[in-house]
Amino acid sequence: MARKLAFINYKGGVGKTSLVVNVSACLARRGHRVLLVDLDTQSNASIWLMRIERWNRINLEKRGSIFSILDPATDRLKDIVVKDVIRNNAGESLLPGLDLLPTTFNLLDIENEYAIDPQNPHYLIFNEQLRGIEHNYDYILFDCPPNILNASQLGVFSANELYVPANPDALSLIGFTLMIEKLLLFYRRSAGFRKPEMGPFARVAGIIFNSIKANVDIGVPKMRMQLRINQFKKQRLVSNEACIFNTAVRDATIVRRAVTLGLPVCLVSSREIEEGVGGDYENITEELLNHSVSEALPSVANAS
Ligand SMILES: Nc1ncnc2c1ncn2[C@@H]1O[C@H](COP(=O)(O)OP(=O)(O)O)[C@@H](O)[C@H]1O
Ligand SMILES: [Mg+2]
């Protein structure tokens, strides 16, 4: 079974998309089969990796992206996977093994126009189709928007582990706390659809500090975050193994430039990689690979 990891926080701009894209690329470079699932209505990861022309085509067609499995429900997830998504202008694959489930702007409709069937909600339809392709992958990573609304629920319901990108500021801590509250509400609401083969609801397994400027000491924000994790652990609201990753991703302009180039940092020519931020993504990937999360505890939905 693939490990399914959702990257989520209630705060935007903390580095969810850049972490998901760069970690996915590092995993694929190590030979793992990776599926990146873009669940952000802003489509940042899809535009980054498909590049604008290719992405524009599916955006205009209103087919071939995640929302089209729900409306008009003619596409199936297995048919809309973009294989080996990163390609050069000649169409040659630059990173075999990294596939994308793309999103286009119509995913926004899932929050309003789309009529959810209370007997067969969106996250269940998505989960069933995902289970049909899961065996093709070692890792499935979900890039979520900064909320637990309908689009995000697709990833949160299907994931086994949640990772929270954070900046060393008070808002990231507030975002984390708010997310735990909203997560609990969603898990309670969707508990009736949970089948044993899906495993328990995903809990937070790790916090990853991102965009850390040189000479900024993150000791105090880290300590505050650790205290919050300890408190949630006692309440069983996060995984027993939840931790702050040893590696923090430094702030580096190449991360922003990589978006313009349509490449993950590890494929940007090495002389351009300033201050070793590429190494940070490698180390985060290594920590993820070594991070095992037990599923022995009762699900969050049952926690008091
Ligand atoms: N380590 C970093 N160094 C410099 N800029 C970064 C870094 N990580 C993210 N960014 C930039 O910060 C902005 C927000 O990051 P993004 O990954 O899109 O966050 P989110 O998905 O949480 O909204 C983007 O412009 C991105 O390029
Ligand atoms: Mg994003």
Return the CA Rg of the chain.
18
Share of the chain above pLDDT 70, in %: 94
The rounded Å distance from CA 207 to ligand 1 centre is 16
Structural domains present in the chain:
3-292 (3.40.50.300)
Give the residue-averaged pLDDT of 217-244.
95
Q: What is the pLDDT of residues 16-67, one digit of tens each?
A: 999 999 999 999 999 999 999 999 999 999 999 999 999 999 999 988 999 9
Q: What is the pLDDT of residues 240-258, one digit of tens each?
A: 999 999 999 999 999 999 9
Ligand nearest to the CA of 172: 1
- Largest Cα–Cα separation, the chain: 56
Task: Identify which of 10, 141, 255, 260 to mutate to test ligand 1's pocket (most ligand atoms within 8 A of the CB).
Answer: 255
Instruction: Read off the amino acid at residue 235.
Output: Q
Site residues for ligand 1, CB cut-off 6 Å: 12-18, 44, 210-211, 249, 251-252, 255-256, 259
Number of neighbours of residue 119 by Cβ within 10 angstroms:
7
Report the pLDDT value the prediction gives residue 245, as an integer from 0 to 100.
98
Residue bearing the bigger pLDDT, 253 or 272: 253
> Which token pair is 179?
């997310």
Task: Identify which of 18, 37, 218 to mutate to test ligand 1's pocket (most ligand atoms within 8 A of the CB).
Answer: 18
Ligand nearest to the CA of 18: 1
Rounded Cα distance between 192 and 201, Å, is 12
Which residues lie near ion ligand 2 (Cβ < 5 Å)? 16-17, 40, 44
According to DSSP, the β-strands at 139-143 and 34-38 are parallel
> Which token pair is 175?
């975002």
Give the residue-averaged pLDDT of 294-303.
50
